[in-house]
Amino acid sequence: MRLLTAILTLLASVYTFAADSDRPQFTFTAIPDQNEAELVRRFQQVAEYLGEELGADVKYIPVKSYPAAITAFRNNQVQLAWFGGLSGVQARKAVPGSEAIAQGYEDQFFKTYLIAHRDAGLEASDEFPKAIAGKTLTFGSKGSTSGRLMPEFYIREAFNEAPREVFSRVGFSGDHSRTIALVQSGAYEVGAVNYAVWDKAVASGEVDTDLVSVIWTTPTYADYQWTVRGDVDEQFGPGFKEKLTRALLNLEDESILQSFPRSGFVPADNDTYQAIENTAKSIGLLDDF
């Protein structure tokens, strides 16, 4: 009898292991908007939190570029992503039915800083600084909302010309941390940077504010958000999207929130980013989607 019980227990364990092994893994990614080590630290914490809340195997997959994040989402290599405003619009265009489900509280009021090297001779102003014309300028990633889309919108509005016609040289740094470093080094006179990355870098002493400073701040706009594929319930079971949304909105772990940095997450939907979509269309950034 004891032998039979032991055999049945072993078979149950094997069955459970096999079932767990066959269970699809829920994966997510994030746009690489700052240094990789910071992103891995942040999103590994998120993966552990979501795994506990969802009762699922959750894995964070880092990517090397904004287009790579969108491609992973399109190909179902990831089912969830932390996108910027523009990349989220592009991803949802690529995967119809996908939805923005949560944004940081601060993402409702996002903004871009124009920063400048001391030697550029530019002063801080409440008005758009037209004296930047003729300078060298670096955006962040080509697909960045705060590092490219919105600053380009205001540059075009101010000069009625594309950036390449306004500046003596235009570059793309790839991420916000790199933008700060390039302007601080003098490689570019002006840069467009995510305000939260700048503020955090200044607070941690990573910026020499004698060499580089903020000269202008854009009006606010909606930016970062969590976007999920529309077929996630089909892949992981009825109610999974609702459970995932609830987990994100209820995230209260201070170490995770501080790493974003955000005070918490609030509901979002696709309509929240209609202004971003309209702006992207107006300057041709949705032509391939």
Residue with tokens 């209260």: 252
If asked whether residues 172 and 227 sit together in one domain, one would say no
- The whole-model pTM stands at 0.80
Measured between alpha carbons, how far is 224 from 146 in angstroms, rounded to an integer?
9
If asked whether residues 202 and 255 sit together in one domain, one would say no
If asked whether residues 162 and 238 sit together in one domain, one would say no
- SS3 state of residue 101: strand
Strand order in the sheet with 265-267: 58-60, 26-30, 80-83, 225-228, 99-104, 265-267
If asked whether residues 252 and 176 sit together in one domain, one would say no
Measured between alpha carbons, how far is 12 from 26 in angstroms, rounded to an integer?
25
Q: Which domain holds residue 162?
A: 111-217
If asked whether residues 34 and 99 sit together in one domain, one would say yes
| Residue after which a domain boundary falls, among 217, 238, 266 | 217
If asked whether residues 36 and 169 sit together in one domain, one would say no
Residue-by-residue pLDDT tens, the chain, 289 positions: 444 444 444 344 434 433 444 557 999 999 998 888 889 999 999 999 999 999 999 999 999 999 999 999 999 999 999 999 999 999 999 999 999 999 999 999 999 999 999 999 999 999 999 999 999 999 999 989 999 999 999 999 999 999 999 999 999 999 999 999 999 999 999 999 999 999 999 999 999 999 999 999 999 999 999 999 999 999 999 999 999 999 999 999 999 999 998 999 999 999 999 989 998 998 888 887 7
If asked whether residues 196 and 254 sit together in one domain, one would say no
Let me know if residue 134 belongs to a domain. yes
Measured between alpha carbons, how far is 246 from 58 in angstroms, rounded to an integer?
16
Kindly report the CATH number assigned to the domain that includes residue 248.
Answer: 3.40.190.10
Burial-class residue 118 by CB neighbours within 10 Å (0-12, 13-18, 19+). Answer: middle
Let me know if residue 287 belongs to a domain. no
Measured between alpha carbons, how far is 272 from 265 in angstroms, rounded to an integer?
14
Q: What is the crossing angle of helices 195-203 and 176-185, to 10°?
A: 60
Let me know if residue 288 belongs to a domain. no
Q: How many domains does the chain have?
A: 2
